[in-house]
Chain A
């Protein structure tokens, strides 16, 4: 059985964006318009950051193995490059600096997710260990030759915290905050998670074209908010609700 692991996007927005005035401000565009745009901001911060951590943990486990362990089939997708760099199919190229991820003060860099069809933009991720979470600084690459005109003219940056202990349970909790700027006409946006979102990994065996393979869906549950500005004036705001990937296990406890 040939095993193909692919990170597929499967976050469905059941309710996209509330169409209500923000305090006494007039809502200028419809919920659908703002919700669709807002999703493009929040999904990279939530989903791609989790995928980046998932790839980093896979590589970190590989680095801790002895020579025999590194030859196990589960590490077949890791291709060592020079100067502490490793390319992993479906994730991109990690620059480890020659150190393990869980060493103190270590910061890994991941350049893009080359086979991710929903993310044509080239994001750069900086992954490091925080207190109880993996920290992911994401930003659009300066090299935007392969992306749309919109991406070329914009800047997206976010800081995402991905729960550190949940990888074995295939369910992460994620929080993020980020900013978006568009050079033209001073349009900008801020976006953040409301509390924690959960990202659940669901693996499904499939059969197609005379071969077996495995698809891995990452599904998001939780809320996020997005505010859109022109200069300092608020144009619209949006609360996004992701409803598809409820986790059966929790990694944070509300003791109240």
Chain B
């Protein structure tokens, strides 16, 4: 461990120690759900090494044209959890992990008959910088921006850089709270909502 790392860890620990006795709770855990899976399913459809291809195929060979095909990729939504530490009331570092189950059916192109169903998933990990514009006891308005990685659940295929931008989010509650936010990026694009706990 080099000197710079030791200084960084010491600074973080000092910030944690200093946080006790302050007038706001610095640690937050959240669990959330987003129904907005378009980015993930598109990503999976276009880049997954195991996804075969869709119904319509234009190619040079008959073996390709009449090869087995798949239905569109479906997902019930994105399930995730986040953990954050607030340095100030207006600034926190947050890490989010999102889990997106996906499934699709496979078909025999010659018989036009289903041959099976495949389930898989995608996973994203994104550290974010979070900025709180309004901090009240019962209500907080915030936004965030983050950069991380996304990949497939088998963890054998390569991961890709992922971005996330949340222009607005709102928390309602004290230690236990509910929240909803609008975001754009690889973690989710659309609405996200969930519950959290501050301590």
Taking Cβ atoms with an 8 Å cutoff, the residues of A that contact B are 26, 28-30, 32-34, 36-37, 40, 148, 150-151, 153-154, 182, 184-185, 187-189, 228, 230, 235
Contacts and interface: CB of A to CB of B under 8 A. Distances in A.
B57 A33 contact: yes
B91 interface: no
A187 B63 contact: yes
A33 B65 contact: yes
Nearest to A35: B58
B154 interface: no
Given A28-B110, A230-B110, A182 B56 contact: no
B60 A150 contact: yes
Interface in B64-112: 64-66, 109-110, 112
10 contacts: A28-B112, A29-B57, A32-B58, A33-B58, A33-B65, A37-B60, A150-B59, A154-B61, A184-B63, A230-B66
**Size band of the B side of the interface?**
10 to 19
Contacts of A151: 60
Nearest to B57: A33
Contacts of B64: 150
Nearest to A184: B63
Interface of B: 56-66, 109-110, 112
Nearest to B62: A187
Contacts, number: 55
B109 A37 contact: no
Contacts of A36: 58-59
B59 A29 contact: no
A188 B63 CA distance: 10
Contact of A28 (B58, B60, B61, B109): B109
Given A182-B63, A184-B63, A30 B109 contact: no
B60 A40 contact: yes
B61 A34 contact: no
A129 to B, nearest CB: 33
